[in-house]
Amino acid sequence: MANKIINFLSFCGLTWFIPFVRLCAGENPKDQVRDIITVIGIPIIAILIFLGFWSFTAAQIKTSLGNLPGPVAVMESGRTLMDEHAAERTKEQAFYERQEQRNAKKLAKNPGAEVKIRKYTGKPTYIDQIGTSLFTVFTGFLIASLIAVPIGVICGLNKYVMTAFNPLIQIFKPVSPLAWLPIVTMVVSALYTTTDGWFEKSFITSAITVALCSLWPSLINTALGVASIDKDYINVAKVLKLGFFEKIFKIVLPASLPYIFTGLRISLGVGWMVLIAAEMLAQNPGLGKFVWDEFQNGSSHSLARILVAVFTIGLIGFMLDRIMVVFQKFVSFGQDVVSA
Amino acid sequence: MKPPMLEIVNLKKVYPTKKGPFVVLENFNLKVDDGEFIAVIGHSGCGKSTALMMIAGLNDISDGNIAVNSREIDGAGPDRAVVFQSPSLFPWMTTLENVMLGVNRVYPHGTKKQREDICKYYLNKVGLGSALNKKAVDLSNGMKQRVGIARAFALKPRVLLLDEPFGMLDSLTRAELQDVLLEVWNKEKITAIMVTHDVDEALYLSDRVVMMTSGPYAKVGDVLHVPFERPRTRHNVNDDPRYYDCRGHLLDFLNGHDKDKTPEGLASDDDSKTATDSKNSNKSGPKSSHRSSHAQKELKYV
Ligand SMILES: Nc1ncnc2c1ncn2[C@@H]1O[C@H](COP(=O)(O)OP(=O)(O)O)[C@@H](O)[C@H]1O
Ligand SMILES: [Mg+2]
């Protein structure tokens, strides 16, 4: 049992918790405590030093919006944001309850009456904004993957295609999202003309910008993975005279999955980083817009609230990366993969 | 007289290199009868794998012809199954799936059950009947190569090509797998060509040993008919009085075609002369012939 948990934890890269599991399983407590002190104690000390340094320096820096907030102020802002979220949800619930009661009354008076169901139009809370950002980044990431993996496979299979794509890849790879955004905005405005579409224009613009910036690592890694498939695998495919699609789905893709997932992992990281900038400019109601609005707002709490966003962005980015690591390990069949 | 199952005529292979064309094989000729087991030996780098992969259709032919069953080959195909040195199983598939992949191609009209039975039959034959659903990644090297053998035989090929299939295994596993291969082959009698660098393996398994000269311009230098009756056991073969003559013959050939003609290589030229001499003078005592050639071999590698 304990071993299973330990295997699972190390599989997910959550090695921090392993000594605790061992301790609970009654394995040589002395060793485990020493392990806990090294794997957790040291990072905690480092974090404490960082917090101390931060509050000290922050107090020295005066901005037009007051002092740079220290850890305590940021914590408080975080709590306020959660409270605002809770309050907004209560209001929303109250709104729907009232609407329901109204409609029920109407129907009681006249069963044939036409009842209107309106959507609550409160302003999005911090949690809503996190949700929007996640949805946007996953959409962009999905678009990127759907483009990058097939092209990568073709590039990896055929060195002429690779030679053809290579200059384009090299040129577009380093382009910043800020450069893409105006172009994407104009193109989306020109092509996406329905006003009652499923998605906001700002959402589409942000997602496409994320896709444009994040598809390159997936493309390059997929091509590399496919090109470096064991020659013998390809030879087996030739001896068996497998058809093109059977070869791709039964051999090429499974064999290069570790590389593909390395690429996807980098892409998701890049996408998340790019998203914030894209949302700021495109005014997509996510974390980027939150940061921008707070900056424009310029109240005394703004900097603390932005710092909450900074930590949120960091933690979510970290979690996304861990999730990708799990996938990556899951598909690599005991082969070692590069992980950083 | 049946036509040969495999006929190689004036085969040539040229690799373009930075220093100009590199002729690995030239005037390589070989005829193999249906149901014959051929072993190919030669120094490392002489072009054994190149020749084998050309027969498989996995390496282009520069000049000459290869015909299987009187028909010129055109690319790779399941009529020429290959067992590679590294087992090259697909680690994401189970043992059964690895064999099924080929069987599905070769018996497209059979039912799933029939195809599975074919795979299971061969997997049982190589001693893996109880590991059908194990992922290939969890198998030992020896077990992987057993699957490799099953996968190749299950294709019912006309020609079976083996490129040092046991080269990566420890000597115990290697002997086990030689027995497995011999047992399956005795049943199927599929024309087989096996590259090996193990003289004893060649003598135990094959009907003829083809000795290749050292490259470049490698060709068939000599052919030894292996006289032991089938079915063979390791014991019978090793105890056969002709065994040491055969073994001496092969070792002499290898020593005579030593790869490096370095200044010290002059000594090896001398050696090869004495080797021929000793072979001639030692016809009476096969054991001593073996010993002397063995001693020469040791001498050279000191
Ligand atoms: N793709 C290639 N390009 C150039 N030279 C090659 C290539 N493949 C093999 N060779 C050369 O051809 C020779 C024969 O190689 P190989 O058939 O692998 O030898 P063997 O299997 O007998 O050890 C070697 O000298 C090797 O360096
Ligand atoms: Mg070789």
Residue B265, pLDDT > 70, answer no
A178 and A30 within one domain = no
Report d(CA A317, CA A269) in Å as an integer: 7
C-beta of B17 in contact with ligand 1 (< 6 A): yes
In chain B, count of helices (H) and strands (E)? 10, 10
Q: How confident is the model at residue B300 (pLDDT cuts 50, 70, 90)?
A: very low
A163 and A284 within one domain = yes
The pLDDT tens digits of the residues spanning A148-164 come to: 999 999 999 999 999 99
Our CA angle for B196, B168, B176, nearest 5°, is 80
Return the ligand number nearest the Cα of B18.
1
Non-local CB neighbours of A330 within 8 Å, separated by 6+ positions: none
A148 and A35 within one domain = no
Q: Whose CA is nearest to atom 16 of ligand 1?
A: B47
Determine the pLDDT at residue B186.
94
Instruction: Enter the tokens of residue A65.
Output: 């919006």
CB contacts, 8 Å: A241 with chain B = 76-78, 105
Residue B248, pLDDT > 90, answer yes
Determine the pLDDT at residue B93.
93
Range of the structural domain that residue A157 is part of: 127-330
A178 and A37 within one domain = no
Residue A73 lies in a domain: no
A262 and A140 within one domain = yes
* Mean pLDDT of the residues in chain B: 86
Domains of chain B, by residue range, sit at 6-240, 241-302
Residue contacts between A and B (CB atoms, under 8 Å):
56
Ligand 1 atom closest to Cα of B53? 17
Structural Rg of chain A based on CA atoms: 26
Structural Rg of chain B based on CA atoms: 20
Average pLDDT over residues B139-143: 93
Most confident segment among A147-161, B258-272, B286-300: A147-161
B81, B90, B92: residue with CB nearest A239: B81
Average pLDDT over residues B27-52: 94
A56 and A136 within one domain = no
Which of residues 311 through 340 in chain A touch B, CB cutoff 8 A?
A: 333-335
pLDDT, greater one: B19 or A298: B19
Inter-residue contact B275 to B256 (CB < 8 Å): yes
Return the ligand number nearest the Cα of B84.
2
Mean pLDDT per 10-residue section of chain A, whose length is 340 residues: 79 76 80 82 91 92 85 92 91 89 86 80 88 95 97 95 93 89 90 78 93 95 95 93 93 94 95 93 91 88 92 95 89 57
Q: How far is B148 from chain A (nearest CA, A)?
A: 11
SS3 readout for chain A: CHHHHHHHHHHHCCHHHHHHHHHHCCCCHHHHHHHHHHHHHHHHHHHHHHHHHHHHHHHHCEECCEECCCHHHHHHHHHHHHHHHHHHHHHHHHHHHHHHHHHHHHHHHCCCCCCCCCCCCCCCCHHHHHHHHHHHHHHHHHHHHHHHHHHHHHHHHCHHHHHHHHHHHHHHCCCCHHHHHHHHHHHHHHHCCCCCCCCCHHHHHHHHHHHHHHHHHHHHHHHHHHHCCCHHHHHHHHHCCCCHHHHHHHHHHHHHHHHHHHHHHHHHHHHHHHHHHHHHHHCCCCHHHHHHHHHHHCCCCHHHHHHHHHHHHHHHHHHHHHHHHHHHHHCCCCCCCCCC
Domain end position, chosen among A12, A41, A60: A60
> Taking each helix axis from N to C terminus, what angle separates A253-282 and A201-227, rounded to the nearest 10 degrees?
150
A285 and A174 within one domain = yes
CB contact under 8 A, A239 and B90: no
Q: How far is A242 from chain B (nearest CA, A)?
A: 8
Average pLDDT over residues B234-256: 92
Average pLDDT over residues B281-299: 42
Half-sphere exposure of B234 (CA within 13 A, CB side): 12
C-beta of B52 in contact with ligand 1 (< 6 A): no
Determine the pLDDT at residue A67.
83
Residue B109, pLDDT > 50, answer yes
Q: Whose CA is nearest to atom 9 of ligand 1?
A: B50
Residue A137 lies in a domain: yes
Residue B294, pLDDT > 90, answer no
| Best mutation target, A239, A241, A336, to test chain B (most B CBs within 10 A) | A239
Return the ligand number nearest the Cα of B86.
2
A136, A141, A143, A146 alpha-carbon torsion, rounded to 10°: -160
Cα separation values, A196 from A180, A187, A200, A201, B53, Å: 25, 18, 9, 10, 62
A154 and A44 within one domain = no
Which CATH code, of 1.10.10.10, 3.60.40.10, 3.40.50.300, 3.50.50.60, is assigned to B6-240?
3.40.50.300
State the amino acid at position A291 in one-letter form. V
Half-sphere exposure of B15 (CA within 13 A, CB side): 14
C-beta of B47 in contact with ligand 1 (< 6 A): yes
Q: Whose CA is nearest to atom 10 of ligand 1?
A: B15
The pLDDT tens digits of the residues spanning B66-91 come to: 999 999 999 999 999 999 998 889 99
A161 and A38 within one domain = no
A137 and A11 within one domain = no
Q: Global pTM?
A: 0.81
Determine the pLDDT at residue A104.
87
Question: DSSP letter at B94?
Answer: B
Nearest to A134 by CA among A285, A293, A295: A285
pLDDT, greater one: A106 or B179: B179
Average pLDDT over residues B209-216: 91
A131 and A51 within one domain = no
Count of domains forming chain A: 2
Residue A74 lies in a domain: no
Instruction: Enter the tokens of residue B177.
Output: 């797998």
Residue A88 lies in a domain: no
Determine the pLDDT at residue A334.
56
Which of residues 211 through 250 in chain A touch B, CB cutoff 8 A?
A: 230, 232-233, 235-236, 238-242, 250
A156 and A30 within one domain = no
Here the CATH number for the domain that contains residue A295 is 1.10.3720.10
